[in-house]
């Protein structure tokens, strides 16, 4: 007898052979997948709980490989601006004025609700006061890799930047020993242009000593690349390589402005990359050369980036954008096909954030992080190819059932783990304070 069975769906496994199972069922026991088969071959087994996918699509929970959860607080605060202006004139000042323990928790909790409802079962985050993010994630029932931020100027919870690495180390130790199987701590160094060489190396060494993922933004804009070349006589990727921080436990976020030499360095060091098409297009940062990266053997994951630069957390939208941008950049409509971008949001993302043996695919023995897409809707009819349907037609709002480690967290498109309406009200209240303060300052 299994704990739970999801039956009557087309299963997209994302396993090594990319198997698709028609009229399939997935059985779950003690939080893990115990059986995947077609009801045409084996009768659906008994289980304490049986969920009917009603002919929809069953797939691994999506993995958002890069975000800043508390930045839901700044969603829509300053749009249609260049990255440097957006960051320096709007986001960094707003963070200095409004980020505190409570607002980080409230913002992160709302983000968790949004992501779970959109079928994202795992996220990889980087922010400040990350222990508050961890508390919110824990309450939501989501799986996450959580990076305490390190940056070269005073930040929330780290007023002295010289203590940033030490604080990150304390966060990692605390959550490594917390015995929470869904939360993995990490260290997130903001970027080569906001951290000194010494800070980057110290942060990487701390991550290495503690055996956790090291995350860093790099090569996001043409300006960043040109400044790096004029300052260090090296591209941002070559600079990070020469600092000795590129390896299979480092995740480089963005990697838009990379040339063949950079891609070689990423491939040789087995560094994974995360691209964020929604944010890249909105900030006009550019289009990441996914074909160049993948042809060289670099694992490329997908992320949304923070809700202030995206402005949503919907991996279906990211998959659709990644598929389209891969075609535009190469002028080749066969590039970035649907099956590839689904892997970027599942197995490849799991590898990039260091949890590929745990989640990212539907296979016996993996954690039961599973979602069901309800295809009984006009925009999802007919269904010739379920993978195309997911990438080009579906949205997060089509997700009807979400399991994390076998626990039902979303059912009938409703969040079961916490009061999402209350989380929305808390963030709306903070946003009102932010808007009032901005109004006062603009009048002065
Ligand atoms: Zn980011």
Domain coordinates of the chain in residue numbers? 2-60+360-412, 62-352
**Domain 62-352 belongs in CATH node 3.40.50.620:** no
Confidence of residue 438 (pLDDT cuts 50, 70, 90): confident
C-alpha dist (Å) from residue 222 to 80, 152, 254, 290: 18, 22, 12, 17
Q: How far is the CA of 41 from the centre of ligand 1 (A)?
A: 45
Q: How far is the CA of 146 from the centre of ligand 1 (A)?
A: 13
What are the tens digits of pLDDT across the range 314-323? 999 999 999 9
- CATH fold match for the domains 2-60+360-412 and 62-352: no
Q: How far is the CA of 254 from the centre of ligand 1 (A)?
A: 8
Q: Is the pLDDT of residue 198 over 90?
A: yes
Confidence of residue 86 (pLDDT cuts 50, 70, 90): confident
Residue 144 bridge partners (DSSP)? 123, 183
Q: pTM of whole model > 0.85?
A: yes
- Which SS3 state, helix, strand or coil, does residue 156 take? coil
Q: Is the pLDDT of residue 439 over 90?
A: no
Q: How far is the CA of 183 from the centre of ligand 1 (A)?
A: 19
Q: Assess contact for 66 and 310: CB atoms under 8 A.
A: no
For domain 2-60+360-412, give the CATH number: 2.30.40.10
Q: Assess contact for 277 and 330: CB atoms under 8 A.
A: no
pLDDT at 233: 98
Q: Is the pLDDT of residue 444 over 80?
A: no
Closest CA to 126 of 159, 151, 101: 151
pLDDT at 392: 98
What are the tens digits of pLDDT across the range 343-388? 999 999 999 999 999 999 999 999 999 999 999 999 999 999 999 9
Confidence of residue 440 (pLDDT cuts 50, 70, 90): confident
Cα separation, 193 vs 191, in Å, equals 5
Q: Assess contact for 247 and 270: CB atoms under 8 A.
A: yes
pLDDT at 334: 97
DSSP annotation of 193 = T
Q: How far is the CA of 260 from the centre of ligand 1 (A)?
A: 23
Provide the percentage of residues in the chain whose pLDDT is more than 70. Answer: 100
Distance of CA 173 to the CA centre of its chain: 22
Q: How far is the CA of 66 from the centre of ligand 1 (A)?
A: 6
Q: How far is the CA of 372 from the centre of ligand 1 (A)?
A: 28
What are the tens digits of pLDDT across the range 26-51? 999 999 999 999 999 999 999 999 99
Tokens found for residue 183: 């939360």
Q: How far is the CA of 207 from the centre of ligand 1 (A)?
A: 19
Largest Cα–Cα distance in the chain? 73
Q: What is the mean pLDDT of the chain?
A: 97
Closest CA to 100 of 77, 132, 74: 132
Q: Is the pLDDT of residue 169 over 80?
A: yes
């Amino acid at each position: 007898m299994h704990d739970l069975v999801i039956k009557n769906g087309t299963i997209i496994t994302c396993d090594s052979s990319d198997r698709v199972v028609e009229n399939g069922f997935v059985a779950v026991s003690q939080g893990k997948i115990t059986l995947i088969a077609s009801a045409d071959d084996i009768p659906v087994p008994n289980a304490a709980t049986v969920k009917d996918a009603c002919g929809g699509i069953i797939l691994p929970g999506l993995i958002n490989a890069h975000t800043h959860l508390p930045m839901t607080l700044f969603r829509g605060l300053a749009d249609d601006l260049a990255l440097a202006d957006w960051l320096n004139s709007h986001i960094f000042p707003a963070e200095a004025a409004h980020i505190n323990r409570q607002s980080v928790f409230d913002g992160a909790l709302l983000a968790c609700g949004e992501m779970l409802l959109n079928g994202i079962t795992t996220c990889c985050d980087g922010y400040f006061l990350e222990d508050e993010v961890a508390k919110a994630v824990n309450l939501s029932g989501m799986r996450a890799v959580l990076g305490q931020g390190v940056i070269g100027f005073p930040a929330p919870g780290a007023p002295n930047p010289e203590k940033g690495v030490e604080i990150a180390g304390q966060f990692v130790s605390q959550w490594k020993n917390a015995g929470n199987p869904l939360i993995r701590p990490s260290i997130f160094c903001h970027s080569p242009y906001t951290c000194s060489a010494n800070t980057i190396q110290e942060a990487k060494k701390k991550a290495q000593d503690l055996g956790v993922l090291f995350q860093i933004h790099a090569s996001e804009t043409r300006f960043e690349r040109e400044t790096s070349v004029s300052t260090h006589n090296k591209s941002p990727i070559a600079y990070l390589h020469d600092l000795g921080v590129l390896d299979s436990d480092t995740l480089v976020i963005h990697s838009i402005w990379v040339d063949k030499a950079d891609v070689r360095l990423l491939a040789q060091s087995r560094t994974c990359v995360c691209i964020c098409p929604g944010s890249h297009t909105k900030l006009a940062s550019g289009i990441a050369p996914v074909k160049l990266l993948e042809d060289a053997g670099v694992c490329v994951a997908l992320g949304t980036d923070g809700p202030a630069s995206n402005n949503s957390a919907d991996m279906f939208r990211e998959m659709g954008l990644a598929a389209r941008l891969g075609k535009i950049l190469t002028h080749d409509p066969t590039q970035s096909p649907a099956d590839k971008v689904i892997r970027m949001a599942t197995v490849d993302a799991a590898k990039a954030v260091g949890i590929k043996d745990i989640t990212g695919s539907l296979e016996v023995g993996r954690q039961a992080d599973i979602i069901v897409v309800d295809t009984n809707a006009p925009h999802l009819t007919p269904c010739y190819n379920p993978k195309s349907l997911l990438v080009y037609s579906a949205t997060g709002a089509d997700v009807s059932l979400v399991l994390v480690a076998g626990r039902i967290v979303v059912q009938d498109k409703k969040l079961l783990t916490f009061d999402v309406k209350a989380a929305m009200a808390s963030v709306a209240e903070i946003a009102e304070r932010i808007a009032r303060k901005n109004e006062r300052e603009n009048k002065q």
